[in-house]
Amino acid sequence: MPLTELLGGFYATPEGNYHETFAPGQLYWAPTFYLPPHPDVLFEINPDPTEANLRFELRRATPRTFQGEHRPLKSLDLQTTEELVAVKAKKRLVVLLSQANTVMEDLQAAVGRDRKIHEASFLCFPIYGVHRGSGERGFPEVVVQRIQALMYNQFFYFPPSSAEENPTVYEGIGRLDRIQAFHRDALRQGAVRFRVNDDCTLILREWVRAYLTGEMSTYVAELRQELIKELYT
């Protein structure tokens, strides 16, 4: 029996103003970045002293990148040891993982907004689609089955939220190896009226802990063993 059936459902409807709740398990649409092994950077060409007409070209990052090879750009608040990195991004459903950051109210006057010490951000991981059509890129069926049996430590299976043709939550694979930080305001704009239910959140929390620490709870380890046994019998 797949894990999703054992949990007796998978999603729940958030209570109250879900745009402002930011609770672990909440779902959002957000731009997620690809992970290029060799990122490209924007290199300024034909420097304009006034910075009124900046022009750039894409160049592959090298060991000398981020070493102060270019001038500072005041109009972009770009320091000499900073670069503009060109990375592809795609809007995906993401699942919120972390708690809210600690904010010391008595230090608000001393902690400048521009220093971002009290930045409102959260860690989330994206859900990648499962493609069933021939020739489409995605997770093959055999891989999906093994992910459902918790055989991949970096993946977690998400079923569709309904049997409709275009469900709010589509069938997909949550990728813990793509955990990303998002600003609260970016998440607020893409809030979805869905969250992972309490039973699944418990398993997911333990799965994330195992991925980050290598320590798996006895309950999850036994559950994993049963799922793998059932897959191969």
pLDDT digits (tens, 9 = 90+) for 5-49: 777 679 999 888 999 999 999 999 999 999 999 889 999 999 999
Any idea what the Cα angle at residue 70 is, between residues 65 and 73, rounded to 5°? 120
Could you tell me whether strands 121-129 and 180-183 are parallel, antiparallel, or unpaired per DSSP bridges? antiparallel
pLDDT (tens digit per residue) in 185-228: 999 999 999 999 998 898 999 999 999 999 999 999 999 999 99
Q: What is the pLDDT of residue 163?
A: 83
Question: 3-class DSSP state for residue 112?
Answer: coil
Strand partners, 86: 40
- 37 exposed, middle or buried (CB, 10 Å; 0-12, 13-18, 19+)? exposed
Q: What is the pLDDT of residue 15?
A: 85
Q: How confident is the model at residue 108 (pLDDT cuts 50, 70, 90)?
A: confident
